[in-house]
Chain A
């Protein structure tokens, strides 16, 4: 026992100074544990992307909560509620089917026109819906911008996340239509997922960029419905890319939306593998657009509260 007491006594004797050291160390550690934030004039540098993403990750709970609440309030005080998410593409499908299958005809490559158009309306409506909401999102509640701090990109991104749910509901309708028209999906349909991811990335880029511009110049919001209408007809939504004259086609497919919509339809309706070079091209454009849009957004975010 005595031998054991020895070391204990020594430890006891040493305890005081070591405890002091330890507390000083934790003090320092706590000081370091406290996050240091530096607020300065925004710099347009690639480093800002990483810094922005780090902050965004810290506020990921807000993005989740806000997206959830977008869904929650979207159909508040409406009788049809979630049915609206299905009604819009269905109504458009009906009118386009009437025009392009009965009034006039477009080449569909053998697919029934409702399926043909719905498969493109799915990604298109996601894109246009998310962009429209995102652009108006920042200015809808100016109080949020002038009274509270959080990474502002969360607002447009939350609209994007909410549009995702509309997309899923419309996708279910699409599956029902596929069964109705006895069209079979092939394994290539799985490519729809990465194609959609790229589209979501491009949607985020467009939404971020134009929502930031909209805070300064409300022209964006005014032009948006009209610009999106033009854009839709510039993409192979109601017609097939094969109908586009060959000499315009390269120019035509510079638009990532056109390329992605075409590939989306290709893998779902025709069960073919995607056009890989085109997909790779759309992806690179998307990546570049996303980085640039985010950079612009972050540098413009700093003074949003002053100009809104």
Chain B
């Protein structure tokens, strides 16, 4: 059963030099050449019932346009979208609020805009107020609300919709930790009920976690469709191409540079797994001879925090480079980080002076290996040591 179908959908926007202003009759017609832009071109895909589809792509690839088309805010220029069932969009919660109205009145208004019946809203009213946690202020105009209360109230209305299809934007990125947890719980609950999900996000790790299938958009076209892993890899490959111009030609101003970085597992053939050994290999090229070189390979969480770093500085063993190319290899007997996607930075320095730094030049995808909960796998051996029974 297909819940959602896009058939050769195209969306054209008109770009004018002065935004959306109509052309004034007294201005020279030639000074206002209106350009066109196809935000989406010939996009076709199906989403089956109960499936979670992730949509990834760089800024301007057409993700927001897809959301707007699916929620009916705007219509396609070409093609057709077929939607089977009630669709709810968890996008910019609370944007339909009227500042002068009280929280309660806004629940009615916003609920009605989302297509709820008044009776339905009245029935779930208490539960909505309860969920939002703003019960105390429910009869205060929302213009007096803090932005957090605003978002919480908005979300709790949407959370009480019972959609067949759910559109998710970067909702997981807004709000405090508790709010995010509520979002995630609710989404998990809806998934269990068999709700179809479209998830549009930059948070690749979340796409990997939530979705069964992913779609890669680029310049308004679907360039890849399939299991989340390869699609995300392809996206990252596109976003941070490994064949950057600088990787090819040796920059004359630099004395040396990093050429590439790769991770492999000496045990299994391809995958890098938690708790298994890993080899990280950083290739470099040097123009002159440089003493006391430090190499660093940094792994970043999807959230942007530094997770771990591999460096020869920690062993106190500095290298002296001679002109030419080569590689430095880090052998790690155990990879302690949890499964997920990590961004990789590589750097090279000598005596505290940076020689080369490449940010986000690669991705490390760690797959499930040894069972782990928490952030790290801690290698250990354990044994049971019963005390001998007291016979005295």
CB-nearest residue of chain B relative to A64? B118
Other-chain residue from B22, B105, B108, B118 in contact with A216 (beta carbon distance below 8 A): B22
Whether the Cβ atoms of B101 and A41 lie closer than 8 Å is no
- How distant is A159 from chain B, measured CB to nearest CB, in Å? 14
Q: Which residues of B contact A148 (CB under 8 A)?
A: 71, 73, 95-96, 113-114
Whether the Cβ atoms of A31 and B81 lie closer than 8 Å is no
Other-chain residue from B13, B69, B101 in contact with A39 (beta carbon distance below 8 A): B69
Assuming the contacts A34-B84, A58-B115, A217-B22, asked whether A65 and B68 have C-beta atoms less than 8 A apart, the reply is no
Whether the Cβ atoms of B75 and A31 lie closer than 8 Å is no
Q: Which residues of A contact B78 (CB under 8 A)?
A: 41
Other-chain residue from A73, A150, A306 in contact with B113 (beta carbon distance below 8 A): A150
CB-nearest residue of chain B relative to A31? B1
Other-chain residue from A40, A145, A216 in contact with B80 (beta carbon distance below 8 A): A40
CB-nearest residue of chain A relative to B69? A39
Closest 8 CB pairs of A and B: A149-B72, A62-B112, A302-B75, A147-B95, A34-B85, A39-B81, A73-B100, A40-B80
Other-chain residue from A38, A76, A217, A308 in contact with B81 (beta carbon distance below 8 A): A38
Given pairs A37-B83, A141-B98, A148-B73, 13 additional interface contacts (CB within 8 A) = A34-B85, A37-B72, A37-B84, A39-B81, A40-B75, A61-B112, A66-B109, A69-B101, A145-B73, A148-B95, A148-B113, A149-B73, A305-B74
Q: Which residues of B contact A308 (CB under 8 A)?
A: 20
Of listed B70, B72, B80, residue having the most chain A CB within 10 A: B72
Q: Which residues of A contact B (CB under 8 A)?
A: 31, 34-42, 58-59, 61-62, 64-66, 69, 72-73, 76, 141, 143-150, 216-217, 302-308
B residues 80-105 in Cβ contact with A at 8 Å: 80-87, 91-92, 95-96, 98, 100-101, 105
Interface majority SS (helix, strand, loop, mixed), chain B: loop
Whether the Cβ atoms of B75 and A73 lie closer than 8 Å is no
CB-nearest residue of chain A relative to B105? A69
Whether the Cβ atoms of B76 and A147 lie closer than 8 Å is no
B77 interface contact, C-beta 8 A: yes
10 contacts between A and B (CB under 8 A): A34-B164, A36-B83, A37-B84, A39-B72, A65-B108, A69-B101, A149-B73, A303-B74, A305-B73, A306-B74
B266 interface contact, C-beta 8 A: no
CB-nearest residue of chain B relative to A63? B112
CB-nearest residue of chain A relative to B102? A72
